[in-house]
Amino acid sequence: MSRPIAADASGPTSPEDTVELTYVEAVRWALREALVSDPRVFLLGEDIGARGGVFRVTDGLLAEFGPQRVIDTPIAESVIVGLALGAAAAGMRPVAEIQFADYVHPAADQLINEVAKLRYRSHGGWGCPLVVRMPYGAGVHGGPYHSQSVEALYFHVPGLKLVAPATPRDARGLLLAAIDDPDPVLFFEHKRLYRRVRGTLPRAPERLPLGRAAVVAPGDRATVVSYGASVHEALRVAAALQAEGIAIEVIDLRTLVPLDVETVLASVRKTSRVLVYHEDTRRGGIGAEIAATIAEAAFEYLDAPPVRLAAPDCHVPFAAPLEEAYLPLAPQLLAALRRLLAY
């Protein structure tokens, strides 16, 4: 759990044109860029002002931009999302922070019945250009109320886009694209990545397109489809197998909705074996949808059934040894891939 996470290897190589940032610094960089470039952008959330957020993501932004653009809210998630909805409908570009993804559920009615439906029920007359940022995931000893992965609950809802970056460069570029997007985006930031991963980013503003996955390790023996912190575990395993002469292709989805099905299918048609890997619980998870899509669209290319590796269907334990046993990390992935390759 304490071992370092692989850095982002993509991006420009000229030192004067780049900057090296942690994941949390990259998110803050993007928020500052958006505040500077667009007067419609403002931030709101619990303790994001004077305290700079519980994870210090917004540290320093209140002093730079003032209390009208960096707004501390009451401890009321339905109010936070409801205010963002009204502001977005009125032409603003709010970026709301939910302190932990575990706490978003009081705002579920706003998200599912209002935010997600606004464009549809107005026949395109009203947009809802808002972003809801949510730190999510386990591995920080937060227990069952501060460690959940909730993305699958909202993956099911039409009208919402979901983004889950794995690297600092993607976090910055996809957050800027999400803020520009005319429709609502839920932006998932894995807490375990905040200060454990560093990456190289271009100094110039960069927006990465939503809905496009990245092949972060090429291979031809099997495909691993993943997102968030699990991508780094997959890259470790791919490197270990590469040393044995086994090339595993790793796909970082980056965006969960829209889902880049074509990149996934192209890889599966090449490798003929696929493992879908995520930290969220297994039952009804995003991995099930991806596995079903592959079975429907690429069955004739498969040499083995699609495999899912996910967390067990239970709550995240607080005790560190139990939490580590709960998480599907590199050793479990390596074992699952060996079984898949031997099928």
Active site residues: 146
Distance CA 333, CA 309 (A): 7
- Distance (Å, rounded) from C-alpha 224 to C-alpha 230? 10
Note whether 237 and 248 are within 8 A (CB). Answer: yes
Between CA 151 and CA 143 the distance in angstroms is 18
User: Token pair for residue 64?
Assistant: 């730079």
R_g of the chain computed on alpha carbons: 20
> Any idea which residue has 């700079």 for tokens?
52
